């Protein structure tokens, strides 16, 4: 296992380029299951989750090539629509294979994805929608078995705007003739990315990015070429990195439009953010930020995936502020680690109160999940002294070439093997 050693407390400067979005790329990779034709996806980040998807798609029978940011799929023989536990457990997004496989082959069997540190993460909204499209669902030995005798379009109202359920149902409905209406859908920008792909494949999709999406499916879908959108969460993490450590940085290939809630909050805290068409410049004084309260919400609200890095930034605020986590029930695992770095935070249920401290201090800490790990990187870059961040395999799931990009921005970071010695 690797770890990061970060010598913090230095002002940032420089420029780096934003990668393709993990959370947009994954559903597009699973959409390739809807067709036997060749699909080519560009700007795919080199990440562990993409590697896990590659392994799962290959296991299912797709012929995949993945390298240099491009992912190509095709088929030489019939697929086997069974996704085993060993592959599904590596990544919750594997559930996105279920809809496309059942829509195409009439049946699928996949291992139930487990919970994870940020919450239980049930899949009832996916399954409820599938049932309404004519899919029968049963459970056998920890697997979900899906059978569709006759798929039909439906008017489905999601009980919560789940990102994954919206994507899964959009993909499934794209292979069902007639109009399916999804109500109370997720409005995240990644939904628009997958909608563009489904349209290229031959489905009609209207309303992506709003809470009502109408899909008219086709009996067969075509191959496609697609370029994945920039990663808004990676962009937001770098904005918060500079906001916390101070200095001036430029993020090229970044799209500021899906980040308006974050940019508003960061500006309110006193940091200057300049938005170009495809770049963002952050200019942060070293003085302490003003306290700003946030509540995480579905898009266009403040993204839950930036809540942990936001807390790393706010931990040095001049006063007190609140953070409400409304999406996941257990997404404050970074708090004890930030407190090792001398942050002062109290948590009660889904609310945290940050009592700002004049500065963070480097310490040995541990990443518990992807974004909690990102928060520790932000905190370590801002802190005086050396921090050692362990279990960075979580961070490698979602940040491409992170230490290279951090160095572009002036962070003193090294990746080391964790040989168990105390550093």
Active site residues: 116
d(CA 419, CA 401): 22
Rank residues 126 and 250 by Cβ distance to ligand EPZ and give the closer one. Answer: 126
Question: What is the full DSSP assignment across 167-235?
Answer: HHHHHHHTTSBEEEEEES----HHHHHHHHHHHHHT-EEE-BTBSEEEEEE-SS----EEEPPB-HHHH
- Nearest distance in Å: CB 162, ligand EPZ: 3
Question: Residue 299 Cβ, how far from ligand EPZ at the closest point, in Å?
Answer: 7
Q: Token pair for residue 306?
A: 């930036």
- Residue choice 34, 64, 88, 165 for contact with ligand EPZ (CB under 6 A): 165
DSSP structure class, residue 326: -
| Beta carbon nearer to ligand EPZ, 126 or 390 | 126
**Contact pick of 38, 107, 121, 131 for ligand EPZ (by CB under 6 A):** 121
User: What one-character DSSP code corresponds to residue 340?
Assistant: H
Residue span binding ligand EPZ (CB under 6 A) among the ranges 118-126, 272-280, 282-290, 387-395: 118-126
- In angstroms, give the least distance from the CB of 122 to ligand EPZ: 4
CA distances from 368 to 172, 331, 336 (A): 33, 10, 11
Paired with 418 in beta bridges are none
Q: Pick one of 125, 229, 345, 411: the residue that binds ligand EPZ (CB under 6 A).
A: 125
Give residues 203-262 in contact with ligand EPZ (rule: CB under 6 A): none
Cβ count near 93 (within 10 Å): 23
Query: Which residues ranging from 19 to 38 are in contact with ligand EPZ (CB under 6 A)?
Result: 23, 26
Interacting stretch for ligand EPZ, rule CB under 6 A, among 115-123, 199-207, 236-244, 356-364? 115-123
Q: For 339, left (φ over 0), alpha (ψ -120 to 50), or beta?
A: alpha
The size of the interface with ligand EPZ (CB under 6 A), counted in residues, is 24
CB 63 within 8 A of CB 74: yes
Among 160, 212, 225, 346, binds ligand EPZ (CB under 6 A): 160
Q: What ranges make up the beta strands (E) of 254-329? A: 272-275, 279-284, 294-295, 320-324
The distance in angstroms from the start CA to the end CA of the chain is 15
Classify residue 422 by its DSSP letter.
-
What is the SS3 assignment for 366? strand
Best CA proximity match to 302, nearest among 273, 260, 354:
260
List binders of ligand EPZ among 279-308 (CB under 6 A): 304-305
In this structure, what token pair is assigned to residue 83?
A: 């996704």
In this complex, which beta carbon is closest to ligand EPZ, that of residue 160 or of residue 274?
160
- Per CB under 6 A, the segment of 162-170, 211-219, 356-364, 410-418 that binds ligand EPZ is 162-170
Q: In terms of CB distance, is 255 or 342 closer to ligand EPZ?
A: 255
Nearer residue to ligand EPZ within complex by CB, 35 or 304: 304
Per CB under 6 A, does 114 bind ligand EPZ? no
The minimum distance between CB 253 and ligand EPZ, in angstroms, equals: 19
Single residue of 54, 224, 328, 332 touching ligand EPZ by CB under 6 A: 328
Q: How far is the CB of 121 from ligand EPZ (least distance, A)?
A: 4
Tell me if 123 contacts ligand EPZ by CB under 6 A: yes
Alpha helices (runs of H) in 287-361, residue ranges in sequence order:
307-314, 334-340
- Verify binding: residue 363, ligand EPZ, rule CB under 6 A: no
Name the residues that contact ligand EPZ, by CB under 6 A.
Answer: 23, 26, 92-93, 119, 121-126, 160, 162-165, 186, 304-305, 327-328, 370-371, 398
């Amino acid at each position: 296992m690797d770890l990061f050693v970060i010598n913090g407390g230095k002002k940032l400067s420089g420029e780096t380029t934003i990668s393709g979005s993990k959370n947009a790329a994954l559903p597009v990779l699973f959409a390739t299951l809807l067709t036997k034709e060749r699909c080519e996806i560009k700007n795919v980040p080199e990440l562990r989750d993409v590697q896990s998807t590659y392994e799962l798609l290959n296991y299912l029978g797709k012929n995949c090539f993945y390298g240099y940011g491009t992912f190509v799929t095709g088929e030489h023989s019939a697929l086997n629509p069974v996704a085993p536990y060993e592959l599904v457990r590596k990544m919750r997004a594997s559930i996105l294979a279920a809809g496309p496989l059942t829509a195409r082959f009439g049946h699928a069997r996949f291992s139930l994805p487990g919970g994870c540190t940020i919450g239980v993460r049930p899949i009832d909204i996916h399954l409820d929608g599938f049932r309404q499209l004519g899919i029968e669902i049963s459970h056998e030995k920890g697997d979900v078995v899906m059978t569709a005798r006759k798929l039909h379009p439906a008017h489905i109202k999601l009980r919560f705007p789940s990102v994954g359920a919206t994507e899964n149902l959009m993909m499934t409905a794209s292979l069902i003739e007639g109009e399916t209406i999804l109500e109370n859908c997720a409005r995240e920008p990644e939904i628009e990315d997958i909608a563009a792909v489904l349209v290229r494949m031959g489905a009609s999709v209207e309303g992506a990015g709003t809470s009502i999406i109408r899909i008219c499916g086709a009996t067969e879908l075509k191959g496609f070429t697609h370029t994945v959108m920039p990663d808004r969460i990676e962009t937001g993490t770098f904005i918060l990195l500079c906001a916390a450590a101070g200095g001036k940085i430029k993020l090229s290939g970044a799209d500021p439009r899906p980040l308006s809630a974050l940019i508003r909050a960061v500006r309110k805290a006193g940091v200057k953010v300049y938005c170009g068409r495809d770049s963002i410049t952050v200019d942060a004084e070293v003085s302490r930020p003003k306290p700003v309260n946030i509540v995480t919400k579905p898009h266009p609200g403040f993204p839950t995936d930036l809540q942990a890095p936001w807390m790393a930034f706010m931990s040095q605020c001049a006063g007190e502020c609140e953070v409400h986590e409304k999406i996941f029930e257990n997404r404050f695992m970074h708090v004890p680690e930030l407190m090792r770095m001398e942050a002062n935070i109290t948590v009660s249920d889904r609310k945290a109160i940050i009592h700002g401290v004049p500065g963070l201090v480097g310490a040995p800490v541990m990443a518990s999940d992807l974004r909690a790990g990102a928060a520790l990187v932000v905190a370590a870059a801002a802190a005086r002294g050396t921090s050692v961040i362990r279990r960075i395999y979580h961070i490698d799931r979602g940040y491409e070439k992170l230490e290279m990009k951090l160095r572009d921005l002036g962070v003193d970071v090294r990746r080391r093997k964790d040989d168990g010695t105390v550093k």
